[in-house]
Copies of this chain bind each other. A is one copy, B any other.
Amino acid sequence: MEAVLSAKDEKLYERLAFKIHRWVEQGTLKPGEKIPSVRAMSLQQRVSVSTVLQAYFLLENQGVIEARPQSGFYVRALLKDLPPEPSVSKVSQSTVKVGVSDLVSRVYEAVRRPDVVPLGAAAPSPDLLPTVSLHRKIALASRRFAKAGISYDPPPGNEALRHQIARRSIEWGGTLSPDKIVTTCGGMEALNLCLRAVARSGDTVAIESPTYYGVLQAMESLGIKVVEIPTHPKDGASLSDLKLILKKHKLKACLMIPNFNNPLGSCMPEENKKELVKMLSRERVPLIEDDIYGDLYFGALRPKPAKAFDRDGWVMLCSSFSKTLAPGYRVGWVAAGRFQAEIERLKFINTVATATLPQIAIADFLETGGYDRHLRKLRRAFASQVQRVTEAIHRYFPKGTRVTRPQGGFVLWVELPPSVSSLDLHHKALKEGISIVPGPIFSPSQKYLNFIRLNCGHPWSERMEAALKTLGGLAGGL
């Protein structure tokens, strides 16, 4: 039986786990070393025995420590020996006409194929989602709101859902108002609407490099030009570079994933977010912020979105429930600040409305379904899966391979030795029944030829390990 914890205890054990993780990272606790006993730690940190147990359990899940029978907890040996992180992206700061290939459809095709090992598309395993519970909510909604459920729900979208989204913004110090939110057909529609609201064909938008290929394709289809900001795998976009870009280019917007960039996993420090919003607001350049991974942090606290520092409505915060609850429900949202009216208009133009019942079901789940409890489990699962895949890369991939250390989300960005073509690897892997995403599609200038992105959204298994072994072998042979 799972121990019932109060919100206060919850925070305590997560903080303790975070602290211990830090000690390990800094080398305060060394690989193979025994960590203090539960009782000792409890006395030392002035927390209850159960808090310590919870923290150790979390760290074990994350692969940081391991229990040895009748002996205690030990720092896992591999942690310090992992492949180094990839270097900062080097990009020329000229605009590039976006030209992303059709690999994407092949990657997503694999989603439907149960015979393919799903290391490609960034989708959480349905086994980790509250499927039965959510589906029950949709059946319930169809009975309770029969006529409303079959009717159009025009922009801004379902009121109960907007209320729940606004309520949850309190967690990161936000004060979103339900009237300032528009629900959308997933996060991707939200991003499209934001782009259409502020940029036209021929305009320039700055993005992180690398960044999510869907966004690059959307910009390509809208004729929007792109300028890439060098982006650090830990701290995210370089603000000093952005400063130069702002001087050189007339930007219509800046589109970023400050929390757990896809594919980098980078998380921009709070002070940078503050500075970013200040810098852009001063220049009256809108920030389109994709926070779709924001709730999936591995640390003790939810990182704030840049929107938390938005005073003048220049930040358009986009998110969805596709990475945390139900990709197939297609429910996302945007809090568009000063662009609210335009976004409502564009939402109507693009798809008229978001499907009604899925919105009601998610609103109900947020209100009564234990979303926070679900998120806690999900974060632990993703942290552990990311760790397992990282270890497998260390074990099976060729020398010279580097891999990111994301502190949230569920993807890894892997730099292979320079000789390896990730496009070749993608083809070869698919033949072996393994789906991965090749690096070049994450950049309009087709950089990252020797990079791949790996999805860690599925529970660790022997099949996964075998696939990574095969993948490493293939990469070694290229």
Contact = CB atoms under 8 A, between A and B. Distances in A.
A192 B344 CA distance: 16
A346 interface: yes
A200 interface: yes
Nearest to A108: B154
A105 B348 contact: yes
Contacts of A345: 102, 104-105, 217
Given A139-B139, A328-B356, A356-B328, A350 B150 contact: no
A146 B153 contact: no
Copies in the complex: 2
- A interface majority secondary structure: helix
A131 interface: yes
Interface stretch (A27-35, A121-129, A397-405, A440-448): A121-129
A247 to B, nearest CB: 27
A313 to B, nearest CB: 19
A214 interface: yes
A200 B220 CA distance: 11
Given A132-B146, A352-B186, A151 B192 contact: no
Nearest to A141: B135
Given A139-B138, A351-B351, A357-B358, A328 B150 contact: yes
A330 B354 contact: yes
A246 B180 CA distance: 45
A252 to B, nearest CB: 13
A153 to B, nearest CB: 6
A371 interface: no
A351 B329 contact: no
A155 interface: yes
Contact of A121 (B123, B152, B358): B152
Contact of A346 (B153, B221, B353): B221
A201 interface: yes
A126 B151 contact: yes
A328 B138 CA distance: 13
Contact of A155 (B105, B126, B127): B105
A349 interface: yes
B350 A218 contact: yes
A277 interface: no
A99 interface: no
A112 B102 CA distance: 41
A351 to B, nearest CB: 4
Given A135-B142, A344-B105, A349 B217 contact: yes
A355 B329 contact: yes
A135 B111 contact: no
Contacts of A142: 135-136, 138-139
A159 to B, nearest CB: 9
A82 interface: no
B355 A152 contact: no
Nearest to A202: B201
A45 to B, nearest CB: 40
Interface string A106-148: 0011011000000001010011010110111011001100111
A330 B350 contact: no
Nearest to A330: B355
A117 to B, nearest CB: 16
A143 B132 CA distance: 8
Contact of A134 (B121, B150, B344): B150
15 contacts: A104-B345, A105-B344, A105-B348, A126-B148, A139-B139, A150-B326, A150-B327, A152-B327, A152-B328, A153-B328, A186-B353, A214-B349, A221-B346, A328-B356, A329-B357
Given A185-B351, A189-B351, A221-B346, 8 more contacts: A105-B344, A126-B151, A131-B150, A186-B352, A196-B221, A218-B350, A330-B356, A351-B351
